[in-house]
Structure 1
Amino acid sequence: MHDALLGQALVEEATKKSGLIWVRGTTGPARALWHAWHDGAAYVVGDGPGEQPLPGLADASTAEVTVRSKDKGGRLVAWTAAVTELAPGSEAWEAAVAELKGKRLNAPDGEHMTERWARECRVLRLEPRESTTEHPDGSLAAVPLPTPATTRHPIPAALPRLLFRRHRRAS
């Protein structure tokens, strides 16, 4: 019983302090998601235009959550979550959105954000079920997800000389 209470406390404190959690639903790789901790669970919003994708999570009943250390970036705790979707406009949805709204950075429609979330996004509650602080064998490193982001052109050949020349003049 004592270990279970310590595990719950570690999950709550680590998740509250971490800006991102790594979540893996029933399909696909784990993804870094921003979240808000409220009422004993982590809440995420996504699957809408301009919001974080939630592939394999929105239709899942459980998910694996990994919480990293805010200062060192290493894995602190992993926990299994029960996933439930909140109905827009419900009391639980309003409370969760109030917390999420304060964490959302650079929203394109700041004052109308919650209305857009109600229309176009999903708000999910990730409630901890079991946790572990044991470190697994291996690195858990994954292949980076495909992205359309690329470097368009190589740097100009003269750029290193220009930068070096500036550095010599400043000396």
Structure 2
Amino acid sequence: MTNTPLGPALVEEATKKSGLIWVRGAGPARALWHVWHDGAAHVVGDGPGEQPLPGLADGSVAEVTVRSKDKGGRLVAWTASVTELAPGSEAWQAAVDELKGKRLNAPDGEAMPERWARECRVLRLEPRDAHTDHPHGSLAEAPLATPATTRRPIPAALPRLLLKRRGRR
């Protein structure tokens, strides 16, 4: 890793402490939950009920941005070598042991590693270069398209219900 003598230490500590990292492969950047294990960030996804990992392929390169856990601002960005771990291998098992402890609300509990082996990919994002200099200007992007919506017409009875509550006070 190059760029600054503090680069490797900053990448490791910031990534360990951050709950999410922003990863850009061939497509748009996505927020991914991860664990730091054995000198690299590990992510699991691309299976039913798991986070999508578009644009991240074995042997590719990704840009990782780490945010501050308390302020949410960008701390460091780093270039990562992407390696897909083979299910059942020693490296895969060690990563999965760490990942399963961080996976919240898993529908299958203890059977989760078997499902990950069958249906998901476990990727190792190993740091190559750290970039601690911050770009000027905003890096904000338009949100990704989604079928989710929060805007719907209000129910016809809602104004009456709200007025009725005010009258009771």
TM-score, with structure 1 as normaliser: 0.90
How much is the aligned-residue C-alpha RMSD, in angstroms? 2.1
Separation in 2, partners of 1:68, 1:168: 47
CA distance in 2, matches of 1:33, 1:13: 17
- CA deviations 1:94-130 (Å, max 9, x no partner) are 0000000011111111111000101111100001111
Q: Verify: 1:125 aligned to 2:115, yes or no.
A: no
Sequence identity (%) = 83
Instruction: Give the paired residue count.
Output: 169
After the TM superposition, which segments of 4 or more aligned residues of structure 1 sit over 2 Å from their partners?
1-5, 156-170
Q: Which amino acid aligns with 1:129?
A: R
CA distance in 1, matches of 2:94, 2:112: 15
Query: Could you tell me which residue of structure 2 aligns to residue 156 of structure 1?
Result: 155
Separation of aligned partners in 2, 1:101 and 1:133: 31
Distance across 2 between alignment mates of 1:157 and 1:144:
31
In the TM superposition, residue 156 of structure 1 has moved relative to its aligned partner by 2.8
**TM-superposed deviation, 1:50:** 1.0
Q: CA deviation at 1:3?
A: 7.0
Partner Cα distance (1:106, 1:119) in 2: 19
State the match for 2:15 in structure 1: 15
Q: Residues 161, 123 of structure 1: CA spacing in aligned structure 2 closer, same or farther, 3 A cutoff? A: same
Tell me if the contact between 2:14 and 2:66 (Cα under 8 Å) persists in the aligned partners.
yes
